[in-house]
Structure 1
Amino acid sequence: MIFNILRHCAFSTGIALLLWPTLALAQGTEQQPATTDTPATTQNGQAPVSGEPTGADLPAVEVIQDQPKAKAAKAAPKQKQKATPVAQPVVSPEPLPPEAVSSPSAPVSTAAGRANGDLVPMSPSGGEIPVGKYPGGVSTVSSTMILDNGRVETQDALQKHVPGVILMDAGGSTFRTQLDYRGFGAGSITGFPQGVAVYQNGVRINEVFGDVVNWDLIPSNAISDITILSGNPVYGLNAIGGGASILMKDGFSFQGVEIDVMGGSFGRKQVSTQVGMQSGPAAIYFAGQKIMDDGYRDFSDADLERMYTDLGFRGSAVEMHFNLTWAGSSAGVVAASPEELLNLGWERTFTSPQTTDLELLMPSINASVKATDTLTFSGLAYYRRYRSNLIDGNVLEGEECGEVLAENPGATTEADFNADNVCSEELENNEIQQLRDLDGNPIDGDAAGGEPFGVIDRINQKAESWGGSVQAVEKSDLFGFKNQFLFGASYDRGSVRYGTSSEIGTIGPRFVVDGSGIILGGPDDFIGRDVDVQTEYVGVYFTNTLDLTDQLAVTVGGRYNYAAIDMVDLTGEFDGITRDHSFERFNPSVGATYEFMPGISLYAGYSEANRAPTPAELACANPENPCPIESFLTDDPPLEQVVSDTWEAGLRGRMKSFDGSQRFDWGVGLFRTQNTDDILFVSAAQTGRGYFFNAGDTLRQGVEAGMRYSNSVWSLYAGYSYVSATFETANEFQSPAHPLGTPCVGDPDTSCINVSPGDNIPGIPAHRIKAGFDYWVTDRWKVGADLVAASGQYHLGDEANLLQQVGGYTRVDVSTSYQLTDNVQIYGFVNNIFDQRYGLFGTLFEADEAPTDPVGPGFEFTNPRSIVPAPPVAAYGGVKVTF
């Protein structure tokens, strides 16, 4: 009740090519010692002692981030506060004298250092080091980038500003897109391998059942920054591709009030509010968002409510925070549509309803204690309650029994066989199986609604998890060398109750399944599931960064992971599900950085990581008894854990003019990650079913580069990445919808394709390009544009790369804002201004099995390719008030 009251109170209140303009920037390079000896941090990234001396022999300076008051920006139009910059020609600063370059400056707060991309969290709980000392790829997206001109989709900001990130959309919802980083996923669709470990304030938010990441449950206006980094096993399970650390705001880092109201295309209406204040050693912060959208496709409306609050206390040596995240999300996740259907209308969908309702409650508490000038202890504890209810309308693999008998004249029938009843299209030991209700009675075709038959699957998850971590960071010198040693341990416990049921119905116009009210009770493939899942994850980790010289830093680290997954079938019908699993592994890492010129560093590193099979994968790994996609669990053959080996090397540079008005950051790197025993999902012979299996080795390798320049008038960025994602082990994949499939070895009735080493993994575009700029026309008027482009990708089901790809695309967004007063800003933006029509994800479907009556007389499906269409051109506008 109290959370509903808080929720309702909250919501009612509330590119261009980069040109390097001056060589003087190189002379004004900012040195790392300014942030090497940062204050000890808590989970919220704040300095526990404001003004206490640190190893830099200078008092700490408290920096307030995201201060919304425009007056400050007007007085000093710096890059961080661009509300009202003064338009003026760029003037090259005077060269810095040598002593100015080497002089230490006062350290900034950890939160500010992270948001600026100057500091990198070595663990999910913090332990930041200067970015120039991190031996791997790293990118940071700040709050300003995420909320640029009213946008609230966190994934979209990551796509624009992180070179290795591109978005795919297997579900068909703008708010629930999946993030792909270097060919590894982090998204909300069960069945897609999750290769990025994601943390919010140090709490792992990969959900218990399938390790999925629900980006739509994170209040985007409460995010201080997101750091995505590679090659760090300290981030634990799923960090085979990388880790993501999300730091939330608090009342120490944000002070004031902001109200943002926006509306636009497809019925978009949203309100965002945030409030922060500090009184002496105490601070409070609150953020809330309410978003409604009708969607650009049929039945794709969305309704989101989310809030975050933090209560913090800061003393002379202790800092503590209590925070609470609550979110509710209802979204039409309408998946891929046949290309032939989209030719009739970009909004068309194939089978519905398809809606997903999520609810999250997560309180947590974290604290840090500065035991000495160099030693800091920190810890956190959390509880997470997650609910997921999915309604999924599909084509039923059934038809009237008389038709099944006509197609299989040699088959046997059951004793109570009736030609007018509904039967499964799949035979069991050459016997035709009648569909039955929960009482065991055959289902009459007319009672089910008549052909074409459909089914409404309902999939429910109730998950609870809790746990915590403890960590120590020691920054004292080691043998006379600067050093940071981090040691920690984490424990996570999860409990899931997973249940399903299926209601037979008929498919009507627009492929909407109209339920009959009859719940299926047989045969086995249609019986509902009731599974209890218990998980236990333990991790012990360390990292050590040693400065052997002022230029050379060496980092070593590692983590021991233990995972136990116990599953019990509660129906008594599927004994194969009941089984206990355990996995363990130690993953090492080693790397070095060398600053061979002021502000320019070379890095190289090697790391290992592992991913334990999820409960969803373990319970759907039998090719003889495949699972309906996104639906049932069936059997429990063992799967091996995935192990990755990553090598990477690169250059990065960070330069700033003496007066701070100009800054240039850039980086280029090579990476190579090989997965052993990679777990993949493939389609089965039965329509709409599939299973997981260990597919041998896979490889992701390539190059990524990015740069960002800013002064008082311009802000420009560009990024490029090439990702070659390939199979490295020859395999036979079942692919019943593939038009070039051939009979499988040992199973001539099933269609297969043969995958060879070097074939591309579907769903991963090789080339990713992004660029953009913001330009202050006057001291109050800003204009900008962003470009995102990607090359083609193969359809899921075409692992042998035999068919035409989903086409590449180029999307251009434009934006503008105007500061009416010091406290009021109006803004607008247009996404996909050229109205490009392209697909974000593709899969194959059995065209000859799909019903055509919902389309109209004479229509036939001949093309097995289907895609998730990208949003068309859309315009939005809003007002932001700060005080």
Structure 2
Amino acid sequence: MSPVKGSEIPAKLVPSAFSYVNGEAFGRQDYVDPPAEILEQQVPGVVQSDLQGNEFQTNIQFRGFESSPVQGVAQGLAVYQNGVRINEAFGDIVNYDFLPEIAIQDMTIITGNPIYGLNALGGALTIQMKDGFSYQGAEVVTLGGSFGRVQGNAQVGMQSGNWAAYFAAERIKDQGYRDFSESDLRRMYADVGFRNSKGEFHVNLTAADTSFGVTASAPIQLLAVDRERTFTSPQTTDNKMIMPSINASYNVNDNITVSGLAYYRRFEQSHDDGNISEAEPCDDDPGILCMEGEEATDITGNLIPTPDGELGSIDSTGQTADSWGTAIQMANDADLYGHGNHFIVGASYDHGQVTFNAQSELAVFQPRFVVTPTGTTFGGPDEVAPKLIDTENTYVGLYITDTFEVNDRLAVTVGGRYNYASIELTDLTGEDPALNGTNTYERFNPAAGLTYQLTPGITAYGGYSEANRAPVPAELACSDPERPCLIESFLVADPPLEQVVSNTWELGLRGENIATDGSSKLTWNAGLFRTYNNDDIITVVTNSTRGYFQNGADILRQGIEAGLTYQTSKWQAYANYAYIDATYESDFILNAPDNPSARESICDASDFEEEEEEGEEEGELACIAVRPGDKLPGIPPHRFKAGMDYWVTDKWKVGGDIIGVSSQYFFGDDANQQPQLDGYWRVDLHTSYQITPRIQLFALANNVFDKEYGVFGTFFNLAGGNEGAEADPDLGEDFFTNPRTITPAPPAVIYGGAKIALW
């Protein structure tokens, strides 16, 4: 019922939906598939989306809310590891690539509970790691396969009396299924714990060093030439993280438990992104470069001469984040007036300090859309001048919740959380005073619900809850329509944004049936949900590479979720379905310069006066009109998953999974006027054979029918793309005629390996 251990109550008393995935699901796939893929299989409302074109850096989308490693994506899930909020300080992004999969004990998605603090608009994801009390033994897993995949995992856990220790490490190298998409991951987790009748104490450490070739979406015409092709390189990301934390609980008596945690987190990231340049030869002097009608200068203030070749840029960003925090909680499950009662009160404090930098370097295109630097860094205009800012976040939360068992069937839960957020931005260059400022937000989010035992094995639940998301520094620092930012890169000013508030209603049934002899078990759930966001933050695109954030959209996400699992001694199976209807509920005008349906005439009714003047000169202004009922891009309404495992013999197991996802609108098509990105289905198979009690061989085949489909779609600028195509002898001038781009899904892959238990 909260991120901190010690707040657990029986599942039958929880007045909202939840999905639990234990660590066996990762072992079932032999730690090959990343957490997002396991959640996609096991949780009805989850699908993956992929903005970056790398299987280790995908988004988790739940009920139409995103949890993403990409800066600038609105984050709608609060994510906790051992009770520590791991949404990074600058943009609330979540780097799932830091988690050694072999060390994950379980993952749970919880909805309708504001106790989980900021960002829990769609819910919260809790990740519990293993320790020496929950795992004893030693295991090594090695595997290899398609596209140069080489992977090694190891874990060891032991307990001696009241003490226990656990250690896990993973190393993955993969060349990727597209050009320039190699990945290298090194990550570890360690825990030392003490436990006795009065309490428990743990010290743990998570550390990771990862690098990725982030290939992103590519024009469909380019992918038709070669499915491995990429559109503009380099696109690389390097991450480093270290996080020590302390978790403790103390049993004051048989009913009262006091728990707490403290942590420190260091996160470093550098990102290089090859792009089409906004610079072009000046009209009155083609020998020098201009940008938006203004002469471009280097960092010393000199005019930049026009180089030979088609112009590109390499936009680089970096951040160093230091975060720390603490939480304390008291849980009391003593009866109240002779009735069962579960009372929780707690507080949390999180502080983050980030230094963020950005710069843009002039480059030229080579064949295959490779962008090579010229050595000249832009110093102006202001929009592309180097940026260096400092941000400080302070988040404070106070929460309380109580579940009262009215009788042996009915239980009522009420509670809420007060959130306070202070976000301070400081320009360190002295050139951008408009960035300086402090924004504060506060809100109390209530929740109430009930559960009713219809039969001993069937529970009905219903509830209402509210949650809020404060704008993050990355959004606040790019919210001035008169000074749009290079998306995901440049920060120019910080007009205030309003916080986003969600209102969620839920209603459902869940049940469990265990055979009297224990030979089989059936669990199932079915539910409805409705979440309404007021004045949500959206991205306004002003041209192909620039935009800003603003409040302005009311958004409704509603739908149906259902799932079941069945297990016997010989086989186990699951099936999940979700329908997500995500629509805009307000009218507004969006600039959409690359959308073929956009028209300049539509902009006349908007607030784009300044952009309209520039657009008439540059030919870039074009808008779409979004109306109530229009579907949100990137959210497929239907998603179906099913799978099973069958033990052919005591030693040989075979299994498979199927995932089906319906079509979705392209990003940038908020008015729903363009053809959708096609839906898809995929089949994965796996098998294992236990040679000896300690040695197991296994094999996996994903996307066995080699289905070609996209998992993300958007539009690109045809004129700029064709300039880059001129540098490629395989394509030539005016190659591109279709502005649609997609991120292609991985083709058929095969992996094989061995799992060895050392003791």
Which residue of structure 1 aligns with residue 464 of structure 2?
606
Please say if residues 445 and 451 of structure 1, whose CA atoms lie closer than 8 Å, have aligned partners that are also in contact: no
Which residue of structure 2 aligns with residue 463 of structure 1?
321
Partner of 2:295, secondary structure, is coil
CA distance in 1, matches of 2:231, 2:12: 50
Post-superposition CA distance 1:504-536 (Å, at most 9, x none): 110111111111111111111210100000010
Asked if residue 770 in structure 1 is aligned to residue 645 in structure 2, the reply is no
Task: Give the superposition deviation at 1:366.
Answer: 1.1
2:351 alignment partner, one of 484, 493, 499: 493
Asked if residue 285 in structure 1 is aligned to residue 174 in structure 2, the reply is no
State the aligned residue count.
739
CA RMSD of aligned residues (A): 1.1
Q: Which residue type is aligned with residue 441 of structure 1?
A: N
Which residue of structure 1 aligns with residue 247 of structure 2?
366
Asked if residue 138 in structure 1 is aligned to residue 18 in structure 2, the reply is yes
Q: Which residue type is aligned with residue 273 of structure 1?
A: A
Task: Give the superposition deviation at 1:445.
Answer: 2.1
2:304 alignment partner, one of 429, 438, 443: 443
Asked if residue 821 in structure 1 is aligned to residue 692 in structure 2, the reply is yes
Which residue of structure 2 aligns with residue 668 of structure 1?
526
Task: Give the superposition deviation at 1:542.
Answer: 1.1
CA distance in 1, matches of 2:644, 2:234: 40
Asked if residue 733 in structure 1 is aligned to residue 590 in structure 2, the reply is yes
Q: Which residue type is aligned with residue 142 of structure 1?
A: N
Post-superposition CA distance 1:242-277 (Å, at most 9, x none): 011111100000000010001000100000000000
Please say if residues 789 and 811 of structure 1, whose CA atoms lie closer than 8 Å, have aligned partners that are also in contact: yes
Asked if residue 786 in structure 1 is aligned to residue 657 in structure 2, the reply is yes
Task: Give the superposition deviation at 1:761.
Answer: 0.6
Post-superposition CA distance 1:453-479 (Å, at most 9, x none): 111111000000001100011010001
Task: Give the superposition deviation at 1:122.
Answer: 3.8
Q: Which residue type is aligned with residue 331 of structure 1?
A: F
Partner of 2:622, secondary structure, is strand
Please say if residues 402 and 413 of structure 2, whose CA atoms lie closer than 8 Å, have aligned partners that are also in contact: yes
Post-superposition CA distance 1:206-260 (Å, at most 9, x none): 0000001111011111110001010000000000100111111000000000100
Please say if residues 4 and 329 of structure 2, whose CA atoms lie closer than 8 Å, have aligned partners that are also in contact: no
Which residue of structure 1 aligns with residue 55 of structure 2?
174
Asked if residue 811 in structure 1 is aligned to residue 682 in structure 2, the reply is yes
1:857 alignment partner, one of 700, 711, 732: 732
Partner of 1:174, secondary structure, is coil
Which residue of structure 1 aligns with residue 629 of structure 2?
758
Please say if residues 165 and 180 of structure 1, whose CA atoms lie closer than 8 Å, have aligned partners that are also in contact: yes
Percent sequence identity over aligned pairs: 51
2:214 alignment partner, one of 333, 336, 351: 333
CA distance in 2, matches of 1:545, 1:262: 47
CA distance in 2, matches of 1:862, 1:704: 40
Q: Which residue type is aligned with residue 437 of structure 1?
A: D
Please say if residues 155 and 169 of structure 2, whose CA atoms lie closer than 8 Å, have aligned partners that are also in contact: yes
Partner of 1:871, secondary structure, is coil
CA distance in 1, matches of 2:6, 2:358: 40
CA distance in 2, matches of 1:122, 1:421: 59
After TM superposition, the structure 1 stretch with the greater mean CA deviation from structure 2, 301-310 or 511-520, is 511-520
CA distance in 1, matches of 2:174, 2:241: 20
Q: Which residue type is aligned with residue 144 of structure 2?
A: G
2:333 alignment partner, one of 453, 463, 475: 475
1:505 alignment partner, one of 363, 372, 379: 363
CA distance in 2, matches of 1:654, 1:723: 25
Q: Which residue type is aligned with residue 865 of structure 1?
A: R
Task: Give the superposition deviation at 1:704.
Answer: 0.4
Asked if residue 382 in structure 1 is aligned to residue 382 in structure 2, the reply is no
Equivalent runs, 1:567-716 vs 2, <5 Å: 567-685=425-543, 687-716=544-573
Equivalent runs, 1:181-200 vs 2, <5 Å: 181-200=62-81
Equivalent runs, 1:66-77 vs 2, <5 Å: none
Please say if residues 4 and 259 of structure 2, whose CA atoms lie closer than 8 Å, have aligned partners that are also in contact: no
Which residue of structure 2 aligns with residue 28 of structure 1?
none
Asked if residue 870 in structure 1 is aligned to residue 750 in structure 2, the reply is no
Post-superposition CA distance 1:40-75 (Å, at most 9, x none): xxxxxxxxxxxxxxxxxxxxxxxxxxxxxxxxxxxx
Please say if residues 110 and 124 of structure 2, whose CA atoms lie closer than 8 Å, have aligned partners that are also in contact: yes
Asked if residue 270 in structure 1 is aligned to residue 151 in structure 2, the reply is yes
Q: Which residue type is aligned with residue 300 of structure 2?
A: D
Q: Structure 2 vs 1, CA of residues 622 and 248 (structure 1 numbering), >3 Å: closer, same or farther?
A: same
Q: Which residue type is aligned with residue 840 of structure 1?
A: V
Please say if residues 75 and 92 of structure 2, whose CA atoms lie closer than 8 Å, have aligned partners that are also in contact: yes
Please say if residues 848 and 862 of structure 1, whose CA atoms lie closer than 8 Å, have aligned partners that are also in contact: no
2:88 alignment partner, one of 192, 204, 207: 207
Please say if residues 145 and 750 of structure 2, whose CA atoms lie closer than 8 Å, have aligned partners that are also in contact: yes
CA distance in 2, matches of 1:438, 1:691: 24
Q: Which residue type is aligned with residue 301 of structure 2?
A: G
1:311 alignment partner, one of 188, 192, 195: 192
Task: Give the superposition deviation at 1:190.
Answer: 1.0
Post-superposition CA distance 1:666-722 (Å, at most 9, x none): 00000000000111113213x211111112310000000000000011110000000
CA distance in 2, matches of 1:805, 1:763: 10
CA distance in 1, matches of 2:2, 2:720: 52
Please say if residues 127 and 473 of structure 1, whose CA atoms lie closer than 8 Å, have aligned partners that are also in contact: yes
Post-superposition CA distance 1:820-855 (Å, at most 9, x none): 010000000101001111111111111123222125
Which residue of structure 2 aligns with residue 221 of structure 1?
102
Q: Which residue type is aligned with residue 436 of structure 1?
A: T
Task: Give the superposition deviation at 1:326.
Answer: 0.3
CA distance in 2, matches of 1:531, 1:334: 28
Please say if residues 286 and 306 of structure 2, whose CA atoms lie closer than 8 Å, have aligned partners that are also in contact: no
CA distance in 2, matches of 1:343, 1:649: 46
Structure number with the higher strand fraction is: 2
Q: Which residue type is aligned with residue 424 of structure 2?
A: D
Post-superposition CA distance 1:572-606 (Å, at most 9, x none): 22221111100000000000010111110100000
Post-superposition CA distance 1:85-109 (Å, at most 9, x none): xxxxxxxxxxxxxxxxxxxxxxxxx
CA distance in 2, matches of 1:669, 1:124: 27
- Structure 2 length as normaliser, TM-score? 0.96
Q: Structure 2 vs 1, CA of residues 866 and 539 (structure 1 numbering), >3 Å: closer, same or farther?
A: same
Q: Structure 2 vs 1, CA of residues 590 and 270 (structure 1 numbering), >3 Å: closer, same or farther?
A: same
CA distance in 2, matches of 1:624, 1:147: 52
Q: Which residue type is aligned with residue 747 of structure 2?
A: P
CA distance in 1, matches of 2:447, 2:5: 18
Asked if residue 238 in structure 1 is aligned to residue 119 in structure 2, the reply is yes
Partner of 1:335, secondary structure, is coil
Partner of 1:696, secondary structure, is strand
Which residue of structure 1 aligns with residue 424 of structure 2?
566
Post-superposition CA distance 1:364-405 (Å, at most 9, x none): 01111101011010110000000010011101012222xx34
Which residue of structure 1 aligns with residue 295 of structure 2?
434
Task: Give the superposition deviation at 1:859.
Answer: 4.6
Task: Give the superposition deviation at 1:152.
Answer: 4.1
Which residue of structure 1 aligns with residue 28 of structure 2?
148
Task: Give the superposition deviation at 1:124.
Answer: 4.2
CA distance in 1, matches of 2:270, 2:598: 36
